[in-house]
Amino acid sequence: MSSTLAPTNEIILDVDGLQKRYADGTLAVQEITLDVRAREFVSIVGPSGCGKTTLLKTICALLAPTQGQVKLHGRKISEPPPQMVLVFQDYARSLFPWLTVQGNVMFPLRRRKDLSATDKEQAAQRAIEAVGLTRFAKHYPWQLSGGMQQRVAIARAVAFRPEILLLDEPFASVDALTRADLEDLTLQLRDEFGITMLLVTHDIDEAVYLSDRVFVLSAPPSTVLEQIRIPLAQPRDQVRTRSEPGFLELRNHIHGLIGKRKDDGMKSFVLPEAPPTLTLEGETVP
């Protein structure tokens, strides 16, 4: 693990007081403030439905915030910047079925007039190698399994050489074993290419395992409940890291944070009155 690729203290992404309201008026994100440092692995965890996807899309300027702003290297962004790439949860809908794996991965390089065709091919090949799909470069995405398709999506993002990779619950649609492989893959990519990672997930264990810092979100309309530093040893290892006492402490703490909010919510939930039942005779029974 080269120390030159370790996380620094330089803040490259600054999200300040972000609020996002849907067109129909519902408040998805109430107020989110967070920051990401160069080459850091940051996770955002929260209960389902807390607007995590919306948050991520707003951060990379696919959506405009209702309030607040996002600054990349100190400058406010209003259009998706080339330094950020978002990997979607639903790989089937985001990959292009009419292109091979190689075609998909080369797609982002289309606009790069400064690269020759061979350069582009090599860059794509390198990305495909990095995700372990060299054998399948000429296959079509739909010929591959779910986990492999997500790798293609990640390779496509990596080929674009972004500074920051935003991942929207990327491993939610794959089985547990594949998920472990993909988790380690993201760590590898961070090490190999020096990419900063911002991952959104509902899986607390995953967040703790992967990250240097975790932001815990409340239920919608979401705010940041707490920011937690993860001081666990690097490099992470699926077996060793997950059995460290520190790991369990951290995950339980986060569980408590999110669970408590859920409990609060449930205690204040009042059951509506059951409708009266009609008997055969027509008399109502409460």
User: What residues contact residue 240 under an 8 Å CB cut-off, 6+ apart?
Assistant: none
The answer to whether the CB of 70 falls within 8 A of the CB of 61 is yes
111 counts as binding another protein under rule CB under 8 A: yes
**Long-range pairs for 277-283: beta carbons < 8 A, 24 or more residues apart:** none
Task: Give the one residue of 1, 2, 4, 23 binding another protein; rule: CB under 8 A.
Answer: 23
Count of residues that bind another protein according to CB under 8 A = 30
62 counts as binding another protein under rule CB under 8 A: yes
Q: How far is CA 95 from each of CA 39, 99, 144, rounded to the nearest angstrom?
A: 26, 9, 12
Please say which residue, 22 or 235, places its beta carbon nearer to another protein: 22
Contacts of another protein in 138-177 (CB under 8 A):
140, 142-143, 146, 149, 160
* Token digits of residue 93: 């809908």
Q: How far is CA 107 from each of CA 48, 93, 95, 207, rounded to the nearest angstrom?
A: 32, 16, 10, 30
Q: What is the rounded distance in angstroms from the CA atom of residue 199 to the CA atom of residue 56? A: 9
Contacts of another protein in 78-107 (CB under 8 A):
79-80, 82, 84-86, 88, 90, 92-94, 96-98, 107
235 counts as binding another protein under rule CB under 8 A: no
60 counts as binding another protein under rule CB under 8 A: yes
117 counts as binding another protein under rule CB under 8 A: no
SS3 of residue 229 by DSSP: strand
Least distance to another protein from the beta carbon of 58, Å?
12
Least distance to another protein from the beta carbon of 264, Å?
29
Least distance to another protein from the beta carbon of 53, Å?
11
Q: How far is CA 268 from each of CA 221, 263, 264, rounded to the nearest angstrom?
A: 16, 9, 7
Given the rule CB under 8 A, which residues bind another protein?
22-24, 57, 60, 62, 79-80, 82, 84-86, 88, 90, 92-94, 96-98, 107-108, 110-111, 140, 142-143, 146, 149, 160
